[in-house]
Amino acid sequence: MARLLQVYLDSQVDETTAEAVAQHLRDCGDCGLEARTYRAIKRAVARRSVPTPEAVRRLRTFAEELLNRDQGEHSV
């Protein structure tokens, strides 16, 4: 789900996939939280030319969590 989540949040999926991912995000608290975190980081980075140390820490933590997840743990 992690790879699909990123392309979904970057609006790079077809409509059918987008609907399926959106439903999954409504149903899965963990993935919903990841989506909200990703969006917040993306907004923060867009507002600033240099991210704050806190944003970098949150992004690093987020990326590490995604990498450590078992593939297929959350599937659409």
Tell me which residue range forms the domain holding 25.
Answer: 2-68
15, 44, 51, 63 from 1: Cα distances, Å: 17, 23, 26, 13
Question: Which of 46, 41, 48 lies closest to 63, judged by CA?
Answer: 41
Specify if 24 maps to a domain: yes
Number of compact structural domains in the chain: 1
- Kindly indicate the confidence band of residue 72, based on its pLDDT and cuts at 50, 70 and 90: low
Whether 22 is covered by a domain: the verdict is yes
In a domain, 76, yes or no: no
22: closest CA among 41, 38, 35? 35
pLDDT band at residue 11 under the 50/70/90 scheme: very high
Q: Of residues 23 and 63, which shows the higher confidence score? A: 23
- What is the largest distance, in Å, between two alpha-carbon atoms of the chain? 37
**Is 74 within a domain?**
no
Give the C-alpha distances (Å, rounded to integers) separating 14 from 29, 44, 66: 23, 26, 23
